[in-house]
């Protein structure tokens, strides 16, 4: 099975990508824990900035920092 994650091996749909081939279920499970994804999951979420399969990630949050509360809290 072929797995993919953000990297520099080649570009796929404008995304820098690495590719890994796994031979069995154990290797597949280990690779998923290390951030590798099947093609449909890797390409499906444009908001997955850190490659964990979920929206969000390592990009900094936008907006103002929270205001300090009165009374020292």
pLDDT per residue as tens digits for the range 34-62: 989 888 777 766 666 666 666 766 655 66
Range scoring the smallest mean pLDDT among 5-9, 16-20, 38-42: 38-42
Asked if residue 51 is part of any domain, the answer here is no
pTM score above 0.85: no
pLDDT band at 70 (very low <50, low <70, confident <90, very high): confident
Residue 26 pLDDT > 90, yes or no? yes
Asked if residue 49 is part of any domain, the answer here is no
Asked if residue 13 is part of any domain, the answer here is yes
Asked if residue 38 is part of any domain, the answer here is yes
Asked if residue 14 is part of any domain, the answer here is yes
Residue 27 pLDDT > 80, yes or no? yes
C-alpha count within 13 angstroms, C-beta hemisphere, residue 67? 3
Q: Which two tokens stand for residue 44?
A: 């499906």
Residue 71 pLDDT > 90, yes or no? no
Number of domains comprising the chain: 1
Q: Whose structure tokens read 């590719």? A: 19
Domain containing residue 40: 2-44
């Amino acid at each position: 099975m072929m797995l993919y994650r953000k990297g520099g091996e080649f570009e796929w749909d404008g995304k820098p990508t690495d590719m890994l081939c796994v031979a069995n279920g154990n290797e597949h499970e280990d690779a998923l824990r290390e951030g590798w994804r099947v093609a449909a999951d890797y390409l499906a979420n444009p908001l997955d900035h850190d490659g964990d399969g979920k929206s969000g990630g390592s990009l900094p949050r936008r907006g103002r920092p929270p205001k300090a509360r009165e009374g020292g809290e």
